[in-house]
Chain A
Amino acid sequence: MSRLSMIAALVVVLAGLVAGIDVRADEFTKADLERWQKEYMSVVEKGRALWTSPELGTNGVACAQCHPNAANTHPETYPKFQKQLGRVIALREMINWCIRQPLEGEPLKLDDPKMIAIEAYVAYERRGVAMAPGKH
């Protein structure tokens, strides 16, 4: 057996071992999809609860008061140049702007699970709309 063919045989054996571990990155089942969707929707529901909550700010005003079903938030257009701030911002910075101003509250950390939940909800209400980053 040549050295080259020994290496080839070893590769075949190793490949077989890996396959036997039963974790393949490119395969997932219907059950996986259902679980992931459920995880996502549970966060969307938390986002909806925050969106309609008088507790997110300090004055009882809720996001949904001005943005029913998160309408007029245009998540598909971010990041975009926000003319009033003079720079390109992410949607979550605008969410914090609204928490500070009309809701008279404290801004969330940009990776706060509440922020992620709010973004998840806003995106969910906008599903199906084409991406349009930068659009005003």
Chain B
Amino acid sequence: MSKTTRRDFLKTTGTLAAMSTLPLSMVELAFADASRNFTFAYISDAHIQHISGTKFVRNWDRGLIRAVAETNLLVPKPEFVVFGGDLAQLGTKEELDHGAELLSKLNYKMYCVMGEHDYYLDLGEYWSKLYGPQHYSWDHRGVHFVVLNSILTYDDWTFNRWPSAAQRMLEMAGLDNPNGSPFMVGEKQREWLKADLAKVQKDTPIVVFSHSPLQKIYKGWNFWTEDADEVQAILEPYDRVNVVYGHVHQIQYNQIANISFNSVMATAWPWPYPQSYAQAEHALPKLTIPMNRADPFHERDATGWQFIDVNTGRVALRYNLYNNTSRTVAFNPKTGRPEDSLFQDPARMIDPQVHY
């Protein structure tokens, strides 16, 4: 697979092997009637970081610029792009404006998801000026898409705990900061979700985009959503539900009842798997075959973007990893869960996928 060059990919009409050479996550939904098939691209976690004046951290800028440029070159063209949250690092107008300018180069319709780094300075006010509502849904070619703002937290933490908005943002921005607070969707949005889904047939494929995993993996780094169980209960009655999330800056996937979970890569930097923190309890899904350990000497290693299809009513993600063999994680109807196309059998795992 890795022998295919990017140029080949850009010329072909999207065979699996060729697709996997670009560092993005593309999602594809496949239907029995192939004419209904379509793909969309997913870019996430750019963490545009302001230094001063017109200066921004070059490394993070480059990740987003590259993802946007490559997404524009995709063939077949994705029908839309999702940006999965954390456009900014500290939620400032400068960062959100600069990020929005880089994203404005995309030639496609874009849907945006709120990340905690976009939110906790002004509670999403400026982000909403740029991108509109923080939760919403739409239908596209027989698939029901939902965006949730999953990075809310307890009101007391948000409104009463910090002397300034900037302090609140800093406390939530530190992934391992014990002063942070668990993410949640919250009752208001859960009620909205119930009402939204009430109009949807049980056999309609549903794809939910959230920033945090709508499952509980490791609370210490907020690889976690406090009310994940309640959200899952709302989604469970539907036959084919997919949750696609950012935040974790790594490949994760899981199956819980009818719900498939897939994470997307960051364009900024990779994060360790929770098992790399020796002092912590964690629950990385057993199903997940980790991405390769990152090589810090390759600035873009273990970052990337993805394109996705929903052709089976389940998402199939092609992870395009800049300095690494690309990966495909797709739902296997025989086993009823997402699986890596190459590495799912433990005997086929390679040494760089062992994290410790």
Mark each residue of chain A from 67 to 107: 1 if its CB lies under 8 Å from any CB of chain B, else 0: 11101101000000000100000000000011001100000
Q: Is the interface of A mostly helix, strand, loop or mixed?
A: loop
The reply to whether the CB of A16 lies closer than 8 angstroms to some CB of chain B is no
Q: B57 touching A68 by the CB < 8 A rule?
A: no
Residues B296 and A125 in contact, CB atoms below 8 Å apart: no
A-B contact pairs, 22 of them (CB 8 A): A59-B49, A59-B51, A60-B49, A60-B50, A60-B51, A64-B174, A66-B269, A66-B270, A68-B175, A68-B176, A68-B272, A69-B176, A69-B220, A69-B277, A69-B279, A71-B272, A72-B276, A97-B296, A98-B296, A102-B269, A125-B279, A128-B279
What residue of chain A has the Cβ atom nearest to residue B52's Cβ? Answer: A60
Q: A-B pairs with CB below 8 Å: how many?
A: 62
B356 contacts chain A at the CB level, 8 A cutoff? yes
Closest 5 CB pairs of A and B: A68-B176, A72-B272, A71-B272, A84-B297, A71-B276
Give the dominant DSSP class at B's interface: loop
Q: Give A residues with C-beta under 8 Å from B.
A: 52, 59-61, 64-69, 71-72, 74, 84, 97-98, 101-102, 125-129
A84 in complex: contacting residue of B51, B271, B295, B299, CB < 8 Å = B295
Task: Report A-chain residues with C-beta under 8 Å of the C-beta of B356.
Answer: 74
Count, chain B residues at interface, CB 8 A = 29
CA of A98 to CA of B59 in the docked complex: distance in angstroms? 13
* Contact indicator B176/A64 (Cβ below 8 Å): yes
A67 touches B272 (CB 8 A): yes
Question: Nearest-CB distance from B180 to chain A (Å)?
Answer: 11
Q: How far is the CB of A54 from chain B (nearest CB, A)?
A: 9
A68 proximity list for chain B (CB < 8 A): 174-176, 221, 271-272, 277
| Residue of chain A at shortest CB distance from B47 | A65
Which residues of B37-62 have CB atoms within 8 Å of chain A's CB atoms? 49-51, 57-59
Contacts of A71 in B (CB 8 A): 272, 276-277
Question: Which residues between 122 and 155 of chain B lie within 8 Å of chain A, taking CB atoms?
Answer: none
User: Which residue of the partner chain A has the closest CB to B352?
Assistant: A136
Within 8 A of A (CB), among B215-255: 220-221
Residue on A nearest B280 in the bound complex, by CB: A69
Is B77 an interface position by the 8 A CB rule?
no
